[in-house]
Structure 1
Amino acid sequence: MKQVFLLILILSGFDATSQVLRKRTAKLMGSRFDITIVANDSLAAERNIDTVIAEVTRIENLISDWKADSQISLVNRNAGISPVKVDPEVFALTERALHFSKITNGAFDISFAAMDRIWKFDGSMTEMPSPEAIKKSVEKVGYQNIELDREHSTIFLKRKGMKIGFGALGEGYAADRCRDMMLSKGIKAGIVNGSGDMSTWGKQPDGSDWAIGITNPLRKDTVFAVVPLRQGAVVTSGNYEKFVVFNGKRYAHIINPSTGYPATGVSSVTVFGPSAETANGFSTSLMVLGKEAGLKLISKFPQYSYILITDEGQIFSSRNLDLKKYSL
């Protein structure tokens, strides 16, 4: 899950191109989607928003692990029984997610869906779960037990009770997919924001860049930087609102799939880059890996930049993102 500490800044300056901007909010994939389209007229903008909503719904019906008739639900029901043939699109998304699981050594794990939800972040927990309960909660998690057959386009979960799920990664994929679809239709500017997984393209009607206001999760009412979006996508993961404290230590709602323990040390991570799907994988992984291991990982991918804020309020950013230039 993500906590979003981003503010899309839409300016209303002079419209030199006679284009109009239309925005609509819809509940898709169990989350809030904000869709912004810039087009030559209002009717075209609204029709293209309808197209985006239809595309996200199509993707949800393919990959949702909550919908009993989705291909992913069928894969999960056949865990430990038999491989399941899926559409090439679903196979490719699973393949990318599995690759991410491998390069993060399980800090990101698409089989996390099988984890027992023993941690509660609604105020009802009065003590930590026992080490035994925590260990048991992740016994069915393990990307190593996912078998992909590219020739036959099948997915097989080797252990009974295993599950895969795309969660926010699916929202990032849908945002990227809709951006590419709009570009292919000649729509030169817009934003698809799936619960904080944002894919953007083009510029605002007045010719200015789309811009993101970034708040410190420890002071949510304050924007400390405004960053123009020139690379296409931005995603934030954070733990400010959902956490518990035991013995003076804060435990975030983002769980390490390998250990079953909540992430500690990092309050939020914002990742910029060409793909919202990949940026989501990085933002989640950096929360789990922590500052040192996380920044070592993302430094290997120069197309992506980051802003990381620790639990103590320290701010770190990548060299290819001049944060001082955008600070307020």
Structure 2
Amino acid sequence: MIGSPPAAGDRTGGTPSGPHRHVATAELMGTVASAHVLTASRSPAPDVAARIAAAQAAALDELHELDALFSPFRTDSQISLLRDGSLRPEDADPRILQVSEACVRLAAASGGRFDANRDGWFDPTGYVKGWAVEQASARHLAPLLAEDDVVAAGLTAGGDMQLLTAPGADWTWNVGIADPLRPGAVLARVPLREGAVATSGPSERGAHIIDPRPSRAPGTARAIAGAPTATVIAEHLSDADAWATVAVVAGFDDLTWLRDAPDCSGMLVAADGRIRRWAHGVEVAIAEDDPALLIPGP
């Protein structure tokens, strides 16, 4: 998470001579969201400062709006109204169809490891948070990169983040991947100029991810016991968030889903501390003494 403890994020905070960080936060989606804008000067011109504040507020407002639209925990959300028959599908917000179609494609690509249909009703919570952050970031924070004083911007919710850097800016986000077995410890660091990072697993919320594959009888879905923690780095947060969930459902010993995932990198941490890593869809394993190992020459 950018600028605060749990799962993953920028842990540097900058230096006194580095970019100055402007942060706006809000409680939503059952977590805390934050909009970050980095400027070269500590005190931007008043008009630039006003545009930064307005963009941050608009990004957080959009997340509030999407939460109100998609939350299955709110009786007045359109998802809930569709479920109880109070709203006809043709009268629903078109963004619900957009998310529904994306979830159908993801279910097919993941071999059923992801499915937004839970016990006969549509629940896109495993997809929509990442998608919402990505949408709000692109709509409200990305245009700020055209300002001469703006170096970078990022939007995060519950540790999942979409990060942006202005073209030509001398800035790289330093993303810390938290150790799920040692609270407060950082397991790895990833330098990232542009892209998205999402973490899924039991370390923050306990066992809450359901295996949706049809081997389970309807109505018998249970949270996966002993699930690993997955962190996925991709271009888009909708992909990173969803495929992190896929990785958790697949389990520590199964990386076959990588061949159907978008270009991504990441790591899995098993409940017993074992680690698997991959980069751009290829597993990166620790080398063993193997006489058949092909080592490139100079």
Range class of TM-score, shorter chain: 0.7 to 0.9
| Greater mean deviation of Cα atoms: 95-104 or 258-267 | 258-267
Mapped contact 1:15–1:206 kept (Cα < 8 A): no
Residue aligning to 2:210: 255
Check 1:38–1:106 CA distance in 2 against 1; reply closer, same or farther (3 A cut): same
Residue aligning to 1:61: 68
Residue aligning to 2:52: 45
TM-score normalised to structure 1 length = 0.70
Check 1:253–1:28 CA distance in 2 against 1; reply closer, same or farther (3 A cut): closer
1:132-143 aligned at under 5 Å gives the runs 141=119
Matched, 1:105 2:114: no
Residue aligning to 2:261: 301
Shift of residue 58, structure 1, vs aligned partner: 2.2
Check 1:241–1:82 CA distance in 2 against 1; reply closer, same or farther (3 A cut): closer
* Matching residue's letter, 1:225: A
1:191-270 aligned at under 5 Å gives the runs 191-202=154-165, 207-240=170-203, 243=206, 252-258=207-213, 259=216, 260-270=221-231
Shift of residue 31, structure 1, vs aligned partner: 2.1
Matched, 1:8 2:10: yes
TM-score normalised to structure 2 length = 0.76
Task: Give per-residue Cα distances to partners, 1:2-37, cap 9 Å, x unaligned.
Answer: x95214224323657xx6421122112232112112
* Matching residue's letter, 1:8: D
The SS at the match of 1:27 is strand
* Matching residue's letter, 2:244: S
Residue aligning to 2:129: 171
Shift of residue 273, structure 1, vs aligned partner: 0.3
Shift of residue 68, structure 1, vs aligned partner: 3.3
Residue aligning to 2:31: 31
| Greater mean deviation of Cα atoms: 103-112 or 270-279 | 103-112
Shift of residue 276, structure 1, vs aligned partner: 1.1
Task: Give per-residue Cα distances to partners, 1:157-203, cap 9 Å, x unaligned.
Answer: xxxxx322222522211110122113553335211111122111116
Q: Please list every run of 5 or more consecutive structure 2 residues that lacks an aligned counterpart in the other structure.
A: 147-151, 286-298
* Matching residue's letter, 2:31: S
Check 1:10–1:317 CA distance in 2 against 1; reply closer, same or farther (3 A cut): same
Mapped contact 2:232–2:264 kept (Cα < 8 A): yes
RMSD: 3.1
Task: Give per-residue Cα distances to partners, 1:31-86, cap 9 Å, x unaligned.
Answer: 2112112354543322221111221122223222233333222221129x975432
Mapped contact 2:25–2:33 kept (Cα < 8 A): yes
Mapped contact 2:174–2:190 kept (Cα < 8 A): yes
- Larger RCO (alpha carbons 8 Å, 6+ apart): 1
Identity %: 25
Q: C-alpha distance in 1, partners of 2:74/2:181?
A: 36
Q: C-alpha distance in 1, partners of 2:141/2:33?
A: 19
| Greater mean deviation of Cα atoms: 309-318 or 222-231 | 222-231
The SS at the match of 1:257 is coil
Check 1:83–1:5 CA distance in 2 against 1; reply closer, same or farther (3 A cut): closer
Check 1:167–1:298 CA distance in 2 against 1; reply closer, same or farther (3 A cut): same
Mapped contact 2:171–2:193 kept (Cα < 8 A): no
Q: C-alpha distance in 2, partners of 1:102/1:175?
A: 23
Check 1:262–1:30 CA distance in 2 against 1; reply closer, same or farther (3 A cut): closer
Shift of residue 109, structure 1, vs aligned partner: 1.7
The SS at the match of 1:181 is helix
Q: Please list every run of 5 or more consecutive structure 1 residues that lacks an aligned counterpart in the other structure.
A: 113-140, 142-161, 244-251
Task: Give per-residue Cα distances to partners, 1:233-269, cap 9 Å, x unaligned.
Answer: 00001213555xxxxxxxx332213332332454210
Task: Give per-residue Cα distances to partners, 1:125-173, cap 9 Å, x unaligned.
Answer: xxxxxxxxxxxxxxxx2xxxxxxxxxxxxxxxxxxxx322222522211
Mapped contact 1:14–1:206 kept (Cα < 8 A): no
Size of the aligned set, in residue pairs, is 262
